[in-house]
């Protein structure tokens, strides 16, 4: 699709080959699975439903901060930037900012072509003034194949990374990602990022153990996915969801615990699970404002702004290089 105001570039990301990673994780003495496995079609629907639960405060709170602080954020960033959103999904949150921020170009990046095409079309219709240059690629592999839209001199590049997705990165990977973003946006460029905050562990516990059991289903869905895609024969009823706040590591950990001693076949291999053995499926790191600002400074950024909700549950930071 190339029509001036709306452009779609397909970098043709290779279909994710999960087998090696899954086998490596499940053969390890401390079994683990990568959190990216959550997001097949069913998992993505479950995640959207989790965001609507009364217990899962991050989405609602971040959206509230964006609404309340849109003018202040736009004033800090300035209009006419090239706004780049890695992992843009349905581009819902950015829409809170578009009218006040008035970017010269919005560049959503996503690995899911259909998702991206749908949201680009919707944005193009809803914002008749907006230039949208979408890029279908796997940003986790780096931004080497990404070219920011050429715009008039003076337009700075700003990356928008909401949702506390950064919390699902191990701290060293978070630092590497922030460094990569700093290189991408270059001198005078910026980063607007949503980060979940440390808080009463009981609030965190409820957010990852919702009463409807959606997070439980989201976690167990990984086993359904392995059955469907890697010819495995997991019985999800023989595992249970376990999520807790590890205060020493400042993170929510999600695990699937084997209810009994069992063997599971996966891609022709037999994997053994002891009763009570865990498969670690996700970490969700929580930061203080100061800790995250320190991490961003280490990556080469300078603090320009920080907005919180009135209960100090969630933070939105703006940094520039
Ligand atoms: C996408 N990510 C920021 C979510 C989180 O809170 O770490 C994923 C999630 N896992 C369980 N519930 C939500």
Burial class (CB in 10 A: 0-12, 13-18, 19+), 304: middle
Give residue-wise pLDDT tens across range 241-268: 999 999 999 999 999 999 999 999 999 9
Confidence of residue 15 (pLDDT cuts 50, 70, 90): confident
* Long-range contacts (CB closer than 8 Å, 24 or more residues apart) made by 17-23: 18/229, 18/230, 19/230, 19/267, 22/226, 22/230, 22/266, 23/266, 23/267, 23/269
Residue 72 has pLDDT above 70, yes or no: yes
Q: Would you say residue 22 has pLDDT above 60?
A: yes
The residue-averaged pLDDT of 44-67 equals 97
Residue of 89, 193, 195, 208 with the most ligand 1 atoms within 8 Å of its CB, for mutation:
208
Which has more confidence, 173 or 147? 173
pLDDT band, very low/low/confident/very high, at 140 (cuts 50, 70, 90): confident
148-171 confidence digits (pLDDT tens): 776 665 689 999 999 999 999 999
Q: Which residue did the predictor score with more confidence, 176 or 16?
A: 176
Would the ipTM clear 0.85, i.e. be above it? yes
2 CA to centre of ligand 1 in angstroms: 35
**Neighbour-count burial for 74-101, b at 16+ CB within 10 Å, e otherwise:** bebbeebbbbbbbbbbbbebbbbbbeeb
pLDDT at 49 over 50: yes
| Per-residue pLDDT, 4 | 79
What residues line ligand 1, using a CB cutoff of 6 Å?
50, 58, 163-165, 167-168, 208, 215, 282, 284
Pocket test for ligand 1, best of 241, 282, 283, 286 (most atoms within 8 A of CB): 282
Q: Could you tell me what percentage of the chain is helix, strand and coil, using 3-state DSSP and rounding each to the nearest 5?
A: 40, 25, 35
In the predicted model, what is the mean pLDDT of residues 42-55?
96
Q: What is the mean pLDDT of residues 112-128?
A: 93
Nearest CA to ligand 1 atom 2: 165
Q: What is the pLDDT of residue 318?
A: 98
Let me know: does 6 contact 140? Beta carbons within 8 Å.
Answer: no
Total-model pTM: 0.95
Q: In angstroms, rounded to a whole number, what is the distance separating the alpha carbons of residues 210 and 214? A: 7
Tell how far the Cα of 130 is from the centroid of ligand 1, in angstroms: 30
Specify the pLDDT at position 277.
98
């Amino acid at each position: 699709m190339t029509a001036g105001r709306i452009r779609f570039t397909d970098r043709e990301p290779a279909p994710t080959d999960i087998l090696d990673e899954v086998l490596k994780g499940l053969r390890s003495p401390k079994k683990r699975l990568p959190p990216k496995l959550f997001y097949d079609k069913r998992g993505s629907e479950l995640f959207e439903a989790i965001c609507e639960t009364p217990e899962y405060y991050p989405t609602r709170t971040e959206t509230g901060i964006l609404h309340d602080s849109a003018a202040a954020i736009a004033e800090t960033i300035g209009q006419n930037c090239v706004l780049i959103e890695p992992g843009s999904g349905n581009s819902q949150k950015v829409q809170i900012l578009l009218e006040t921020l008035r970017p010269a170009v919005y560049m959503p990046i996503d690995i899911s072509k259909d998702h991206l095409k749908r949201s680009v079309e919707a944005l193009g219709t809803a914002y008749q003034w907006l230039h949208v240059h979408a890029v279908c690629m796997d940003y986790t592999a780096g931004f080497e194949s990404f070219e920011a839209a050429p715009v008039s001199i003076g337009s700075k590049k700003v990356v928008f990374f909401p949702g506390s997705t950064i919390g699902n990165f191990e701290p060293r990977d978070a630092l590497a990602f922030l460094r990569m973003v700093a290189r991408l946006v270059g001198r005078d460029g910026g980063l607007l990022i949503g980060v979940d905050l440390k808080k009463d562990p009981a609030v965190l516990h409820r957010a990852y153990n919702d009463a409807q059991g959606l997070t439980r289903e989201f976690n167990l869905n990984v086993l359904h996915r392995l059955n469907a895609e890697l010819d495995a024969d997991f019985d999800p009823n023989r595992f249970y969801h376990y999520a807790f706040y590890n205060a020493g590591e400042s993170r929510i950990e999600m695990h699937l615990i084997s209810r009994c001693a069992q063997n599971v076949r996966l891609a022709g291999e037999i994997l053994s699970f002891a009763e009570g053995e865990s498969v670690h499926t996700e970490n969700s790191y929580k930061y203080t404002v100061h800790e995250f600002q320190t991490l961003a400074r280490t990556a080469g950024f300078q603090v320009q702004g920080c907005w919180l909700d009135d209960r100090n549950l969630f933070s939105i930071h703006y940094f520039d290089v």
